[in-house]
Amino acid sequence: MFRVQKLLVFEFEAIYEPVLVEGPVVLVDAQGNGLRQYHMALTSRNVVFSCDNLFKNSTRRGPSDEPSWEGRGQDPEIECLELVSLVPLECLRFNFYRRGDRCLMMLSAHQAHQHLNVKEPMIFEFGGHNFKHHFWYTWRERVASIRVVQPRYSEITGSSPFSSSDVQLEEELTVQVQVHPRPIRSSSGIFVRCYSSSGEGY
């Protein structure tokens, strides 16, 4: 758990900010076919995309060798995880809906931010098997709370997560995520900000 939070703490302290919620999602097409798996996180300012790369930091010698992390002392939850993109909230519109037993979130770019090269909305299905409903509810709550607390993000969604045209939020116990304090280490001087173009195959 908290894989993106750990990744930001240990590898991207220059852009670190607390994660409000994170979990596994799958980018799907309009028919619901899976295109790519992500581990996505929401902060108060950005949506963070990450995915597993089994050969990240591995000691393999050739393309046919199996990856190995023996003796590296890395956290096993993030030894394969790498940052893919980081998209500012003001660039995005959120819509949450369900189709049968599938819990879905649609992200689209504001017309004012077409430089993101996202030509069509991206549809993400929440994973985690028995926890997918929990992730879906929690993401809806966090997006709604950001809109209330930070007025400049009042337009981050085209329709309220709790609008009458959407599925009404049901009573459900949600658990707050653990927030790690900002690491106190010397600045690496590296600043990374990249924008999502993961909708290429969609």
Over the stretch 128-167, which tens digit does the pLDDT of each residue have? Answer: 778 899 999 999 999 989 988 887 777 676 554 444 334 4
Residue 33 neighbours by CB distance under 10 Å: 8
146 contacts 156 by C-beta, under 8 angstroms: yes
Q: Note whether residue 191 is domain-resident.
A: no
Q: Where residue 54 sits, what CATH number does that domain have?
A: 2.30.29.30
Q: Note whether residue 198 is domain-resident.
A: no
Over the stretch 88-128, which tens digit does the pLDDT of each residue have? Answer: 998 888 999 998 889 999 998 876 555 556 568 899 999 87
Number of domains in the chain: 1
Amino acid at 29: D
Q: Note whether residue 83 is domain-resident.
A: yes
37-48 mean pLDDT: 95
pTM (predicted TM-score): 0.70
Q: Note whether residue 121 is domain-resident.
A: yes
| Residues of the domain holding 98 | 3-153
